[in-house]
Structure 1
């Protein structure tokens, strides 16, 4: 059985690697074609386009690995069926359960590779690709928004600890690739949403430990006068004072990482980054559903490799008269495309219908698992 396991593993992994390289070549070519119109403009040259496309490859590995596993396994199973190897294996007492167990062990390797690309490599290469592109063009992340970048934070009594005393809105005209902020505006409100201060700064630099250093600062403070002490902004008993500072230390839960992920595609973020950002949004009472769905999909999607490989196993029971290898590969491609479309469809439906994030993420895999079990039952009976 060890020899058979090794034979299965080598055959399937070679086929999966071939399919994966073919997909990556096609997708990278399309990415490069999309970048070509920008080449030669604003300092963005062909070498930058090539490097940008190269840095996107790890993300594509994570995205297409399940489909590559499906097509590669179908090709191998169809080859076994066309040469009657699988028939000989079954005659040598290999049951469907044993074949499924061998595929499962091969799937563990593919799932591990997928997790490495999704959790360790892509979260580093994708931001680097965007920074490279912006640096070449001399642009910033926030320039894609007309009013700059906005985010929300809570004000606490003791820096980033203690009880919440208010709310702060960040507005940044430019968020540079090196993490520096340009033209910063901070609007602070108390717990009753009365505006209590407006802080503007020419630049902001993150110094670590949840601390920003703001330079060339103007602080306008709105305080209640000698009246009841509960004046709202604009009432006669409110007072306004302004002061200018060369520098100011600002304690905030907002970090360059949070600012960068707030404009990132959730699909290119790691599960850890999604968890941290989702918690930040929840603490600030902002919409979290999209990021919750992306978090659960990040955890569940790699395991869909097991489901799709199980769906490929019935092709080993189909003899040549049921169709050649090319026909079975075409069917596998259609199944893979269907899985991607249904997975995407459920993500949008879950977001629109406010389904539980876990249900939205796992439903497509469960649907295809039922299809795989039904196909195995059918080939066993026939």
Structure 2
């Protein structure tokens, strides 16, 4: 039994390595074509360019692992079925469920590995890519923490608790206007600001002006704020949130809740940091019965074709539930976990129809 299990696992791992290599190469090629003009325009040295793409590897691994796992399971077991090895295993009195148990354990191990990588490696690597973009491409920089986004601009430094890209609105804005030498000239706070025309308009703003050791405080029902960031730069600011680890994002969500802001969007991302890595196990649970059911008709083409269909189906369900969650039509936990639960149930149900 152990010899059979090791053999099946080794065939799966071989194809997993090939699939990972292929998908990573594909991602890298697309990324290279997207960035090559910028790299050449700014005369980035080759060694720096290589590091720039290397820092993206952890993120890419986390994205391609599920489809690679699915392809590897379908193709490896499909080839075993096609060559009659699955039939021989059953003829020897070995239960298929026991024979493929190491694959399921491998799926769980990969899920845990991706969770740990996303917590301790990917955030650090993504921050390095952001620093690279700021240094070489002049992209708007900043940092994201429990207090929200911090960004330095020509006017000074601003902090935003929440960004709404769809409505060009910022929540919990604090703007510090800096003058030389480094000293705060003015501080503006507003719970909500919206882009109107070519400027930001704040609702019920409070302004503190600092001069000659004195502080003057003013309140305004409406205040125009200029020259600190434009809406087209907001996606770069919002992307800073993606660099956060699970613990950092949890702290940010708690901070938003404590201050009365809507944290639903970030809760979906928070739960997704666990739900998405678990897709690796779910894809194995889906792939194994599919491969065993197709029998001698299986092969590389069949396995890859089924992988595309299953992955695309998962993506549709994921996109729909996420959209429903972002629009507050379903709870954040349901939005993040439902695709996994649905495909887990389908995979478990299909296992019942596999002939032992």
How would you bin the TM-score normalised by the shorter chain? 0.7 to 0.9
Rounded Cα–Cα distance in structure 2 between residues aligned with 1:233 and 1:173:
18
Alignment coverage as a number of residue pairs: 310
Q: Which has the higher contact order (CA 8 A, sep 6+)?
A: 2
- 8 Å contact kept, 1:350–1:357: yes
- State the distance in 2 between where 1:184 and 1:62 align: 45
Aligned alpha-carbon RMSD (Å): 3.6
Distance change in 2, residues 1:199/1:32 (3 Å) = farther
Q: Does 1:84 align with 2:84?
A: yes
Aligned to 1:303: 278
Matched with 1:292 is: 267
Q: Gaps spanning 5+ residues in structure 1: where?
A: 154-166, 175-180, 201-215, 224-231, 235-260
How far, CA to CA, are the matches of 1:102 and 1:83 in structure 2? 21
The match for 1:170 among 174, 178, 185 is 174
1:104: how far off? 1.9
Distance in 1 (alpha carbons) for counterparts of 2:213 and 2:41: 37
Larger-gyration structure (1/2): 1
TM-score between both structures, scaled by the size of structure 1:
0.70
- Mark the CA change 1:124 to 1:6 in structure 2 (over 3 Å): closer, same or farther: same
Partner of 1:209: none
Query: What is the TM-score normalised by the length of structure 2?
Result: 0.75
Partner of 1:241: none
| Structure 2 CA distance for partners of 1:63 and 1:217, relative to 1, 3 Å | farther
Q: Unmatched 5+ residue regions in structure 2?
A: 143-150, 163-170, 192-202, 222-235
- Residue in 2 aligned with 1:62? 62
1:198 counterpart residue number: 208
**CA distance 1:45–1:348, change in 2 (3 Å):** farther
Three-state SS of the structure 2 residue aligned to 1:222 is: strand
Q: Secondary structure at the match of 1:39?
A: helix
1:184-195 maps to which residues of 2 (within 5 A)?
Answer: 186-187=187-188
Q: Deviations over 1:283-303 (max 9, x none)?
A: 232231111001101112222
Paired with 1:182 and 1:309, the residues of 2 have a C-alpha distance of 58
* Matched-pair contact (CA < 8 Å) for 1:52–1:130: no
C-alpha contact 2:186 2:207 (8 A) present in aligned 1: no
Distance 2:8 2:214 in 1: 69
